[in-house]
Amino acid sequence: MSKKFFVVWLFCTCVAAVFAQLSWPEPLTIAEYENYGFDGKVITTPDSRRILLYSKYENETNHCYMQAYNQDNQALWTSPVALDGALDANHLFLTDQNEIACFNISPGNPYYNLYVTKYNLNGVQIGTPNVMIMYRYVGNLKLFSDHQGGIHVFGKDGNRTGYQHIYADGSIEHPYSGVNFPLIDWEAAIYNISIRNDGKIMISYADSPNTGLFVMDSSLNVQFSFTFPMSSGDSYYGWCALRSDDGFYMTINSDGLYKLYSYNSSGQSLWNQPVLLPAQMACDKMICDSQDRLIMTTDRSYQYYVQLYDTSGNGLYGVDGVHLFDFNSGDFAAKIMLDGVQGFYLMKQSVTNYEPSDLRYVNTADGSSSWVLPLSNLTGYQGRNTHHAWVDGGMFNLYNYQRMGEISGIYFNRANSSGNLEFASPGQELMSGSCGVIAYPIIGALGSNRAIAIWAVMTQDTPVRRILKYNLIEPGTGWVYEEDQYLLTVPQDISDLKCFATDEGNALIVWRVGGCGFYAQEVNHYGSQRWPTAKLLLNTTYSNKLNASYLDGSLYMAYTASGQTIRMQRFIDGEPVWDTQGVVVASNSLGYPNLTPTLEYLTDRTVVWSVWDNDTYPLMAYYNIVDENGQSLPGFTSSGLFLNAVQEPYHGFRVNGVRRGGDRLWLELSMARSVWIQEGHSGGYWSVAFDPVIQAVSDDGQILLPIGGLSTMFSYGSIADETAYYKCWQQPTNKLKIAKYNLSGNLQWVQSPFSEVNWSFSSGISLQKVSENEFLVYGATFSGSTNQYSYFSFSPDGQITAPPDMIFGQNGYGIQAELTNTRMGTYFLMYNTSGITAKVQYRASGAELGNSDEDSPAYSLISAYPNPFGDDIKLEFSMERPGLARLEIFNIRGQRILYTEYPDLLAGKNQIIWDGRDALKRECANGIYFIRMSNGKNTDLIKILRLR
């Protein structure tokens, strides 16, 4: 992943301004992935072009596209057609008139309605766009031709199956008039809708106590319907196959025995008795071959079989059929694709990655497999992949979605009936790009002037297996490393991440793997890792949260050791200091089995826990403070000091947050009470309402506010210092309020700044104290459908200051915002909840930057000649007195390609010649470059252009 580099040449003007603004012209990109997506939606035109739907993340938004490819998989349209909505909400259909109908399921206040837009084969829109076809929660979409240029549309609406008919001219038969258009209005489970080339439609369903099937012609005239009752032990899950004579086969599970039936087009049984499948043999797939014989796959005791039945119901492969393979679980999907009379392809694909995926060719004559190929031979990936597979001209064809490591894309491969592949794995590439999902991004302080960005990246197609990356940030130059560094290269199920600044100026990074393993690594100012491999700190089966703090050169971790105790451990240099099991800091001293301590927070060496006596809400909260030896401070014990308890009419509470301010803790709680809900419900029901309160306790065990706490509003962001507690809340909807409480809990002031700004409170509001007289407030805001970031400052006396760049950036849907303050300035973390992109912006503190050093030689970069240049360029600069200068050259992508120090330059004019080569003596390409000269305090910049 390339990093963007932004040189800060405006430091001096930013610092000199009345209000310090954001220091970088553009934010740094921590990670931004293209994340191609493909869910197997493909249509084929009569001239063999294929239209694919896919998605790609770009311009900070996920987009859905449609593109046409020829038989050589070359794109036919100059640019893809952008579609509304997400990939999984779009569907394609080719009409008899060779028009592409794109169906989109879009949210519609608050329902999900179905719309259609048509395109010609060149991707040009035709007719009226976004015609509403169906209303309200459309799902399980089925599309069929009416063989007159129109489309029959079936879509699930709750327990109804809705129907719509689109005529060839694009008009619809049933315009929406406030009610939906159901064809079938029952609480039935529809399992099978299939269509023949002549337009006949067969629908099978299960509607207790009946199972049924009906066939319609292309005008939806019901030719016949067939139902029969099912006993309590019977079930039907779509085992049905339509023959060319309009008859059909159907399989019913009757008390564990599978029975195969055959019916003609009038619904009359063709066999005197159904065919009984062997005991414990379960039907999986059914399909008719070109001779109307039935191919059925079955499973029994983790073995998979195939059987071929003739039209009289005789099994041609013996009693059980032919054994194809064994499997470990039922977590795979099988697909049969016919290849004329000779045989068929059987594709087995894992659903959960626990089963191997493969492709085989089965001979119809005897059921034997001519060959078996691991699916990874075609796709490069053995696990579960989204795909589109079909047989054409005897060849098995596959469009496959590939997601391996940090690459995603769509690939094509083909195999013939002899098992020969057209392309080496993973196949022919249609498109590919960077891939990943970011989680737990953090910005931490590093040394006196740097910061570190750490984040987890999901690279495999599994929910939580991630690697860990990091990079260093210099306020004046951006990223230190051209390429990201790795803390963890083998994907693990990382579920939490924290970073602490050590007394030595290093970054101590702690993370949790799974539910019980806690690891650490330390990174110094130069980016080097302290230990060859991460340190395993703890391995406990009970903890479900990472509770860690750093104080006086030690890392402290609190964890649930059993159902009755909470323990704490101290670490120095990654090694435990106390007893192997740590020390008990919280226990159930009352001895009642139902009164169990639940760890809530750890701050410094103070642990906060709640006590439950039921399975719903805790009733009491306690805290304990220990010294560097793990011993409780005077007045404290592992039984804890009382923090808060519920009072009538409340019956429980939640601990929402704990903030340390000097020698006290501020607790944010919400008290639970029962309420009777009557409005909108004929009978009414009991529910739970939560009333927010705050409480404060001192480090010497004093409860500082009234028992039960002070009533307030729900906090969406808060901070405390030695003098006060500050919090943000929402009132009215999407509007921000901020308040200050003094040490006695008295409200000092309330402000309602920027009434025109809408805040995304679901993302939370981040507060940081950046100086004795300034606090920053930062969060996600929105205007219409545009999501942005906003910040402002306030003083302890409630003065609000709006910077000129108060609203900045845009990061798509579901954005998050967090602040990290360092000595040099404040970092604004920007990322979205989908994990596709994360960025960071910077605001200099003004105190340490831009001030001249009396011992540093002043200089200025006078010129770079010639500019543009071809082979060499002369850099002239002047030094007021002898000293050090540094030369750095960056390309347009922000990558530093050359760094040189000149320790003993003379006063006056100096000249350096750059030969256009990087640090590895490689010739640099034509383009824009940035020359930066600095001496550690002062910086000068010039832009140059190379043309050869």
Q: Is the pLDDT of residue 218 over 70?
A: no
pLDDT at 255: 80
Contacts of 797 (CB under 8 A, 6+ apart): 749
Peptide bond before residue 803 is cis, with ω within 30 degrees of 0: no
- Quick one: residue 48, left, alpha or beta (phi over 0 = left, psi -120 to 50 = alpha)? left
E strand or H helix at 788: strand 786-794
pLDDT at 862: 59
SS3 letters across 848-874: CCCCCCCCCCCEEEEEEECCCECCCEE
Query: Domain ranges in the chain?
Result: 34-187, 855-946
CA 604-606-608 angle, 5° bins: 130
470 vs 883 pLDDT, higher one: 470
Residue 713: phi, psi to the nearest 5? -110, 160
CA distance 488 to 482: 18
Tokens of 231: 């006993």
Whose tokens are 């979205």? That residue is 832
Provide the strand spans (E) within 175-281.
182-184, 189-195, 201-207, 210-216, 222-229, 234-235, 240-242, 248-254, 257-263, 275-276
Q: How far is CA 891 from the centre of its chain?
A: 32
pLDDT band of residue 54 (cuts 50, 70, 90) is: very high
Cβ 675 vs Cβ 689: under 8 Å = yes
pLDDT band of residue 938 (cuts 50, 70, 90) is: low
pLDDT at 643: 82
pLDDT band of residue 848 (cuts 50, 70, 90) is: very low
227 vs 437 pLDDT, higher one: 437
Pairing of strands 257-263, 248-254: antiparallel
Indicate the class that CATH gives domain 34-187.
mainly beta
CA distance 728 to 722: 18
CA distance 400 to 402: 6
Mean pLDDT across 85-93: 89
Task: Indicate the range of 111-125, 283-297, 838-852 predicted with least confidence.
Answer: 838-852
Q: Is the pLDDT of residue 7 over 60?
A: no
pLDDT in tens, 616-630: 677 788 899 999 999
pLDDT at 894: 63
CA distance 44 to 38: 16
Q: Is the pLDDT of residue 14 over 50?
A: no
pLDDT at 6: 34
Task: Indicate the range of 111-125, 230-244, 525-539, 918-932 predicted with least confidence.
Answer: 230-244
- Given 3-state DSSP classes, what are the helix, strand and coil percentages for the chain, each rounded to the nearest 5? 0, 55, 40
Tokens of 349: 């694909």
Cβ 661 vs Cβ 614: under 8 Å = no
pLDDT at 930: 81
pLDDT at 159: 57
Mean pLDDT across 800-823: 81
pLDDT at 537: 94
pLDDT band of residue 80 (cuts 50, 70, 90) is: very high
pLDDT at 175: 79
Q: Is the pLDDT of residue 174 over 50?
A: yes
pLDDT at 5: 35
CA distance 48 to 52: 13
pLDDT band of residue 782 (cuts 50, 70, 90) is: confident
pLDDT band of residue 650 (cuts 50, 70, 90) is: confident
CA distance 889 to 896: 6
CA distance 452 to 166: 57
DSSP 164-184: EEE-TTS-BSS--SSS--EEE
Looking at beta carbons, which pairs linking 154-157 to residues 24 or more positions away fall under 8 Å? 154/183, 154/193, 155/114, 156/190, 157/182
Task: Indicate the range of 106-110, 258-262, 528-532 predicted with least confidence.
Answer: 106-110
CA distance 213 to 239: 11
Alpha-carbon separation of residue 149 from 49, 132, 168 (angstroms) = 19, 19, 4
- Quick one: residue 352, left, alpha or beta (phi over 0 = left, psi -120 to 50 = alpha)? alpha
pLDDT at 747: 95
CA distance 679 to 530: 62
Best CA proximity match to 364, nearest among 341, 392, 334: 341
Q: Is the pLDDT of residue 313 over 70?
A: yes
Beta bridge partners of 944: 929
pLDDT at 172: 87
pLDDT at 503: 87
Q: Which of 1.10.3720.10, 3.30.56.10, 1.20.120.10, 2.60.40.2550 would CATH assign to domain 855-946?
A: 2.60.40.2550
Q: How far is CA 371 from the centre of its chain?
A: 39
Cβ 719 vs Cβ 767: under 8 Å = yes
Tokens of 567: 């323990």
Cα pseudo-dihedral 596, 599, 604, 606, rounded to 10? -20
Considering 266-275, 612-621, 781-790, the range whose residues carry the highest mean pLDDT is 266-275
Cβ 799 vs Cβ 775: under 8 Å = no
Best CA proximity match to 351, nearest among 386, 390, 401: 386
Q: What's the whole-number average pLDDT of the chain?
A: 84
pLDDT band of residue 594 (cuts 50, 70, 90) is: low
pLDDT in tens, 729-777: 998 889 999 999 999 999 999 999 998 999 998 888 999 999 889 999 9
CA distance 471 to 95: 52
Contacts of 685 (CB under 8 A, 6+ apart): 676, 677
pLDDT at 463: 56
CA distance 620 to 654: 10
pLDDT in tens, 93-129: 999 899 999 999 876 555 678 899 999 999 999 999 9
CA distance 338 to 321: 18
pLDDT at 855: 44
CA distance 659 to 148: 69
DSSP 441-510: EEEEEETTTEEEEEEEEE-SSSSSEEEEEEEEEETTTEES-SS-EEEEEEEEEEEEEEEEE-TTS-EEEE
Task: Indicate the range of 164-173, 394-403, 425-434, 638-647 predicted with least confidence.
Answer: 638-647
690 vs 937 pLDDT, higher one: 690
Considering 85-94, 117-126, 134-143, 252-261, the range whose residues carry the highest mean pLDDT is 117-126
User: How many Å is the Cα radius of gyration of the chain?
Assistant: 34
pLDDT in tens, 337-381: 999 889 999 999 887 666 788 999 999 999 999 999 998 888 766
Q: Is the pLDDT of residue 847 over 50?
A: no
pLDDT at 679: 66
pLDDT at 50: 96
Q: Is the pLDDT of residue 60 over 70?
A: no
Tokens of 767: 């507060």
Whose tokens are 């750093």? That residue is 550
Whose tokens are 């796959």? That residue is 297
Alpha-carbon separation of residue 727 from 169, 632, 736, 748 (angstroms) = 60, 31, 10, 12
Alpha-carbon separation of residue 850 from 14, 484, 866 (angstroms) = 9, 29, 30
For a pLDDT cut of 90, what percent of the chain falls above it?
Answer: 41
